[in-house]
Structure 1
Amino acid sequence: MGEPLILVGRVSGAFGVRGEVRITTFTADPLALATYRDLKRQDGQPALTILSARLAKGGIIVRTKEVETREQAEALRGLKLHIPRDILPEPEEDEFYVTDLIGLAVETLAGEPLGRVKDVRDFGAGDLLEIQPPEGASWYLPFTRESVPEVRIAEGKVLAVPPREAEEAEDAD
């Protein structure tokens, strides 16, 4: 399949008339995209090579090697931009890249399988793991220490306390 890629931004259109590209960034530091420089498409093919960047509302404005006109920049609208996972620093303790969590097995503390991490979402009240069980509809689990006491990336699993067990523990207190 190739190297794992992480989504870091999306082209939101042209800026001005000289071929600058507006990018919505998904990084803590929007200008980090300029340091990554060579951005890729989802399939790993080259997308944009950033020559210069500056902050703008909602992201950054960049000059690229590939784009010279406003029309070329507009044609890229919606293009998702990725970087190889291995160029990112290792996360701090108790921090994770979403791409490292997706696909991990989810088990109870007793080792009973619950499913796999399908996605990580945040609807405004904190991160939620979307769990896809072997059968049936997916469900959400708060990504908190109470609900997810351990994440074992190297072992490929997440230890979780399902909502019904958490409620029972609270009722016992």
Structure 2
Amino acid sequence: MAGGIKVKAISGNPSGLLAARSLRLCGKPDLGGSGGRGFEVNAAQRSGGCAVFSLKGIETLEAARELVGARVFVRRKELPPPGEDEYFVVDLVGCAVIAADGVPIGRVAGVVSGPAHDWLEIRRSGGGEALLPVVSEFVREVDVAGRRIVVTPPEGWLDAS
């Protein structure tokens, strides 16, 4: 695909991205400031663990190279809904993290993808950040509508700095 751009999905699975009809790219000087720039998708295909997009207005390899390192955003309505026990990262960021006994731990600052599972990046109420594996042993309940996640962290995790 001449002038195509390769996009790595946060989830590690680019299949859902292939349905996008438009992309917003941000974080590069030529992309219109903090709001970025929208592009219409001409074509999309999977290549390994990435999605490759042909974008209207990006016709050459040189033009595509200018976009390397840009952050890519897709409208939620253009993505398939998440499956059972799956969530959009944007829905988790900002959620309160609460221990199963009701003690507040902090808030989700981000999600880090890992080879075996993802990790919640938690900004602790008392300061500092910590990572918690997103596995059923530790994450007991995710309530996106209520903006809270109930966890049972491993022994000693709450005491670690």
Which TM-score bucket, shorter chain as reference?
0.7 to 0.9
Out of 101, 116, 128, the residue aligned to residue 110 of structure 1 is 101
Out of 19, 38, 56, the residue aligned to residue 22 of structure 2 is 38
In the superposition, relative to structure 1, how do residues 36 and 133 fare at CA in structure 2: closer, same or farther (>3 Å)?
same
Structure-1 residue corresponding to 2:3: 20
Contact 2:141–2:149 (8 Å) recurs in 1: yes
In the superposition, relative to structure 1, how do residues 47 and 23 fare at CA in structure 2: closer, same or farther (>3 Å)?
farther
Structure-2 residue corresponding to 1:98: 89
Q: Cα offset for 1:97?
A: 1.6
Secondary structure at 2:65 match in 1: helix
Output the TM-score relative to the length of structure 1: 0.71
Unaligned runs of 5+ in 2: 27-33
The answer to which of 70-79 and 49-58 deviates more is: 49-58
What do residues 28-58 of structure 1 show as CA deviations (whole Å, max 9, x unaligned)? 244x544312101345543322212344355
What do residues 87-125 of structure 1 show as CA deviations (whole Å, max 9, x unaligned)? 333322212122211110011122210000112223334
Q: Cα offset for 1:86?
A: 3.5
Structure-2 residue corresponding to 1:158: 149
Contact 2:41–2:56 (8 Å) recurs in 1: yes
Structure-2 residue corresponding to 1:131: 122
The answer to which of 36-45 and 71-80 deviates more is: 36-45
Counterparts of 2:142 and 2:86, CA distance in 1: 10
Contact 1:40–1:83 (8 Å) recurs in 2: yes
Counterparts of 2:52 and 2:116, CA distance in 1: 30
Q: How does 1:161-172 map to 2 (within 5 A)?
A: 161-164=152-155
Q: Cα offset for 1:78?
A: 1.6
Q: Cα offset for 1:151?
A: 0.7
Counterparts of 1:44 and 1:29, CA distance in 2: 24
Aligned pairs, number: 148
Does residue 148 in structure 1 map to residue 131 in structure 2?
no
Unaligned runs of 5+ in 1: 1-14, 167-173
Counterparts of 1:149 and 1:61, CA distance in 2: 36
Counterparts of 2:53 and 2:77, CA distance in 1: 24
Larger Rg: 1
CA RMSD in angstroms, aligned pairs only:
2.5
Task: Give the aligned residue type for 1:142.
Answer: P
Hey, which bits of structure 1, 4+ residues long, moved more than 4 A? 42-45
Output the TM-score relative to the length of structure 2: 0.76
